[in-house]
Chain A
Amino acid sequence: MTPYIFWFLSVWALFSALMMVTSRNPVYSVLWLISTFFAISGHYILLNAQFLAVVNIIVYAGAIMVLFLFVIMLMNLNKETEPQKNRWLKLVGALAGGCLLLVLVAALTDAELKSQQAMVGAGSIGLIKVLGKELFTRYVVPFEISSLLFLSAMVGAAVIGKKEITHQNS
């Protein structure tokens, strides 16, 4: 059963990602990216990383993508206003990406990892209890630093986003 779920989720993720890149309408791109995030969350559940699956849905699909959607709707972007690169640049970009994939796959196909297995559907390291215990003992300093990072990001977003008063008067 597990391989079928794996292949289903993989095809779902890749298809959604491709549709995200190729959609003309930015709103559709956002929706396809949310679909990709759900597929990746499915992979996390398959790997029994339940905490990350939930956080991925809440933080990425819930918060970050809604922010993107708000900004796109605020700017009233749609298919007509979407800027397009010319065909050759697109072709070259796709070719460069394909070359990167080719090189990486060729380099990694006969790596040592071939016989290694990822533990699927078992193991308790992905549970909230275990991760929480680790997060608040060994990783408590990075955790606190990340709160500072959030504070600075919040202040930065407010400072960047506010209108300049001198500009408004002139």
Chain B
Amino acid sequence: MPINYYLFLSLALFTIGMVGVLTRRNAIIIFMCIELMLNAVNLLLVAFSKMHHLKNLALNASVGTDGQLFVFFIMVVAAAEVSVGLAIIVMMYRNIHSVDIQFLNRLKH
């Protein structure tokens, strides 16, 4: 497949995630939209690694593994991030009995 298609698919997914972050007020949904954005980037990294592999196949048979390992590390970091982030959201719910980010305005003061 042309790499362009993957590029635009990933851009569209990333943008949908960003629109979700901008338009929703539920903290959990915003967090899920961030996961979607991470996934869009992962997809693009894999597509680029396969492009790189096809281009430099003659030089080195295992060229392009770096991109896929990068995706693996992104998943690892995302898993760690989700555990801490959800703990923070649960604590926030315990304190203000809502997951509405509008109530977090008071963090400014």
- The reply to whether B15 and A100 contact each other, CB–CB distance below 8 Å, is yes
Query: When chains A and B are docked, how far (Å) is the Cα of A84 from the Cα of B15?
Result: 20
Kindly identify, within residues 104 to 119 of chain A, every residue whose CB is under 8 Å from any CB belonging to chain B: 104-105, 108-109, 113-119
Interface of A is mostly: helix
Bound Cα distance A48, B53 (Å): 12
Number of interface residues of B (CB under 8 A): 75
Q: Report yes or no: B65 in contact with A60, Cβ–Cβ below 8 A.
A: no
- B22 and A97 contact, CB distance less than 8 A: yes
Which of B16, B57, B80 sits near A150, CB closer than 8 Å?
Answer: B80
Q: Which residues of A contact B (CB under 8 A)?
A: 2-3, 6, 10, 13-14, 17-18, 20-21, 26, 29-30, 33, 36-37, 40, 43-44, 47-49, 51-52, 55-56, 59-60, 63-64, 67-68, 71-72, 74-75, 77, 82-85, 89-90, 92-94, 96-98, 100-101, 104-105, 108-109, 113-120, 123-126, 130-131, 134-135, 139, 142, 146, 149-150, 152-154, 156-158, 160-161
- Identify which of B13, B87, B93 contacts A75 (C-beta below 8 A): B93
Q: Spell out B's residues near A (CB within 8 Å).
A: 1-9, 11-13, 15-20, 22-26, 28-29, 31-33, 35-36, 39, 42-43, 46-51, 53-55, 57, 61-66, 68-69, 71-73, 75-84, 86-91, 93, 98-100, 102
Which A residues are in CB contact (< 8 Å) with B54? 117-119, 123
Assess the B84–A156 pair: CB atoms within 8 A.
yes
Contact between chains at B79 and A59 (CB < 8 Å): yes
In angstroms, Cα B5 to Cα A63, docked, is 29
Please judge, given known A-B contacts A36-B36, A47-B50, whether A114 and B76 are in contact too, CB under 8 Å. no
Does A68 contact B73, Cβ atoms closer than 8 Å?
no
| Bound complex: CA A2 to CA B2 (Å) | 12
**22 A-B Cβ contacts within 8 A?**
A10-B5, A26-B26, A36-B39, A48-B50, A55-B72, A59-B78, A71-B90, A96-B22, A97-B19, A109-B4, A113-B51, A114-B2, A114-B4, A117-B2, A120-B1, A125-B68, A131-B65, A149-B80, A150-B76, A152-B80, A160-B88, A161-B90
Knowing A52-B71, A150-B76, A160-B84 are in contact, say whether A94-B23 is a contact too (CB < 8 A).
yes
